[in-house]
Amino acid sequence: MTTTTFTDLPLAEPIQRALRELSYETPSPIQAQSIPAQLEGRDIIGCAQTGTGKTAAFALPILHHMAERPERPVANCARALVLTPTRELAVQVGDNFSKYGKFLRIRHCLVYGGVSQRPQVSAMRRGVDVLVATPGRLLDLINQGHISLERVEFLVLDEVDRMLDMGFVHDVKKIAAMMPAKRQTALFTATLSGQVRSVADRFIDNPVEVRIDPGKPVVERIEQKVCHVRTEDKLPLLQYYLTDSQGAPSDLRTLVFSRTKHGADKLSKKLKGFGIVSEAIHGNKTQAARQKALDRFREGRVSVLVATDVAARGIDVKDIGLVVNFDLPNEADTYVHRIGRTARAEASGRAISFCDEATTSELFQIERHLGREIDLELEQPFHYEGMPMRKSGGGKGRKGGGGGYRGGNRNRSFGRGGNDRQGGGGFAGRGRGGKPGARGQRSGGPGRPSTQRKERA
Ligand code: AMP
């Protein structure tokens, strides 16, 4: 049977009502392929990237079973356990259960580290329907006797590959071993590595395997560009992308990635100096501070969020217009995860990456992973011509470059001290002319007029 709308799925009426309210009409491929099997009680392995709708893919069948067979929660117990790698993802999953279960009497609780355990312990004392937890704090509370897994009927292991990357493999195995053998399990992962398979083989029984094409559709929806830039020009280049031609902050919701926590703090501070409302999130911040920054970003009160990879994992904020890789990631996979933040729920998005001389090998790796070169942005005032050449095996031209790869002939090169954006081609939506502050800045000596102008402002 091919499912065309949610009404074709035998989901309980209160869930259908919540979906109507959310204007969900058509199940995404992971939902269409996995929900029917889970409604029949089957275990599943879902191979899908974030942003493909996998939360509803597991939440809806669990809620349906609870709607059909309501039970009073038992003290310290949960009927469903969702394990996530990060606190942020736990919060998001919890929010989704609330949204989809709005018309059901569902009690859920979040358990994660970095905050006081007291409210979590007191919520569990009454028992819950759904417990969403990160592995470390969950084990902690189990060991203290505040949580028992003996009544878990549904287990979801979300973003298992990430959990394993983060070193949670033993915790996950310990937790799964504490659960009744008779349960329904769903495992979600972006990649099906050998290690993920071994976890799956151990805990999943005769699963239905659902594979959604490995991320390409999401990546393909994103307009990607790379800027060749000197390391010392990265900050003014970022400022350039975050302001309009008058130097005023643009209202584009932007996520900026920094490789280090210190770098994220420093960047956010600099941006504030330019009059750009920004916040940094990273692993050294308290959970409360991270959540507050995320909420402010989600509500549009902060337009630029500077994040490290760990903190940004699983962020689901709608309408992120632009992702900037201020520092390129070490791993090509991380690049795909990062830029995927801008193409949630079928939206398209833009991603721009700054590549300096120190990170050319990262760029090559990413391009190899994508199976293609990322278009070079020439029409930016800090374009650096002196990037090392790459032997690209046959000299494929770059789109918009009109020549070979790095350092090749370019018919639209901006060049040093360039002073005209030619109507803001390249990145769509930045239709503006030359930027006065950036004009002539390279030929004018070592000064950074645009930066200095803003810092004084
Ligand atoms: P996820 O991959 O679960 O993080 O979901 C990504 C985004 O898609 C979230 O903002 C969801 O609210 C949204 N979403 C999930 N399923 C659907 C659907 N079938 N129709 C519309 N939006 C959806």
| Spatial separation of the C-alpha atoms in residues 305 and 228, rounded to whole Å | 23
Give the distance between the most distant pair of CA atoms in the chain. 73
Half-sphere exposure of 449 (CA within 13 A, CB side): 16
CA 257 to ligand 1 center in whole angstroms = 23
CA 101 to ligand 1 center in whole angstroms = 15
| Ligand 1 pocket test, candidate residues 6, 9, 24, 62, most atoms within 8 A of CB | 24
Q: Please give the mean pLDDT across all residues of the chain.
A: 81
Q: Where are the beta strands (DSSP E) in 203-339?
A: 208-211, 222-228, 254-257, 278-281, 304-307, 322-325
From first CA to last CA, the distance across the chain in angstroms is 62
Residue 259 confidence (pLDDT) above 90: yes
**pTM to 2 decimals?**
0.59
How many residues make up the chain in this entry?
457
| Spatial separation of the C-alpha atoms in residues 368 and 153, rounded to whole Å | 43
What residues have CB less than 8 Å from 297, skipping those under 6 apart?
253, 279, 305, 317
Q: What pLDDT score does 438 carry?
A: 37
> In ligand 1, which atom is closest to the CA atom of 314?
4
* 105: its two tokens: 């009497």
Residue 313 confidence (pLDDT) above 80: no
Kindly indicate the confidence band of residue 443, based on its pLDDT and cuts at 50, 70 and 90: very low
> In ligand 1, which atom is closest to the CA atom of 55?
3
CA 52 to ligand 1 center in whole angstroms = 7
Q: What pLDDT score does 215 carry?
A: 46
Q: Are 54 and 128 contacting, i.e. CB atoms less than 8 angstroms apart?
A: no
| Spatial separation of the C-alpha atoms in residues 17 and 14, rounded to whole Å | 5
Q: What pLDDT score does 217 carry?
A: 55
Nearest C-alpha neighbor of 14 from the set 53, 57, 60: 60
> In ligand 1, which atom is closest to the CA atom of 92?
4
Q: Which residues form the pocket of ligand 1, taking CB atoms under 6 Å from any ligand atom?
A: 24, 26-28, 31, 50-56, 316, 318, 344-345
Residue 419 confidence (pLDDT) above 60: no
- For residues 330 and 319, the model is more confident at 330
Strand partners, 80: 130, 154
Q: Coil, strand or helix: which one is 399?
A: coil
- For residues 452 and 349, the model is more confident at 349
> In ligand 1, which atom is closest to the CA atom of 6?
19
CA 15 to ligand 1 center in whole angstroms = 15
Q: Where are the beta strands (DSSP E) in 112-220?
A: 128-133, 154-157, 184-189, 208-211
Residue 369 confidence (pLDDT) above 90: no
| Ligand 1 pocket test, candidate residues 8, 15, 28, most atoms within 8 A of CB | 28
Residue 356 confidence (pLDDT) above 70: yes
Q: What domains lie within the chain, and their CATH numbers?
A: 6-211 (3.40.50.300), 222-396 (3.40.50.300)
> In ligand 1, which atom is closest to the CA atom of 318?
10
- For residues 339 and 82, the model is more confident at 82
Which of 19-33, 56-70, 138-152, 404-418 is least confident?
404-418
| Spatial separation of the C-alpha atoms in residues 230 and 233, rounded to whole Å | 5
| 263 phi/psi in degrees, rounded to 5 | -60, -40
Q: What pLDDT score does 214 carry?
A: 52
CA 31 to ligand 1 center in whole angstroms = 10
Q: What pLDDT score does 276 carry?
A: 92
| Spatial separation of the C-alpha atoms in residues 423 and 140, rounded to whole Å | 57
Nearest C-alpha neighbor of 238 from the set 451, 429, 455, 384: 451
| Spatial separation of the C-alpha atoms in residues 94 and 22, rounded to whole Å | 16
Residue 457 confidence (pLDDT) above 70: no
Q: Is the dihedral of CA 237, 360, 348, 85 positive or negative?
A: negative
3-state SS record for 334-345: HHHHHHHHHCHH
Half-sphere exposure of 259 (CA within 13 A, CB side): 11
- For residues 197 and 390, the model is more confident at 197
CA 54 to ligand 1 center in whole angstroms = 7
* 304: its two tokens: 């630029």
Nearest CA, atom 1, ligand 1: 53
Which of 13-17, 275-279, 293-297, 339-343 is least confident?
339-343
Kindly indicate the confidence band of residue 413, based on its pLDDT and cuts at 50, 70 and 90: very low
Q: What pLDDT score does 421 carry?
A: 31
How is the chain split among helix, strand and coil, in percent rounded to 5? 40, 15, 45
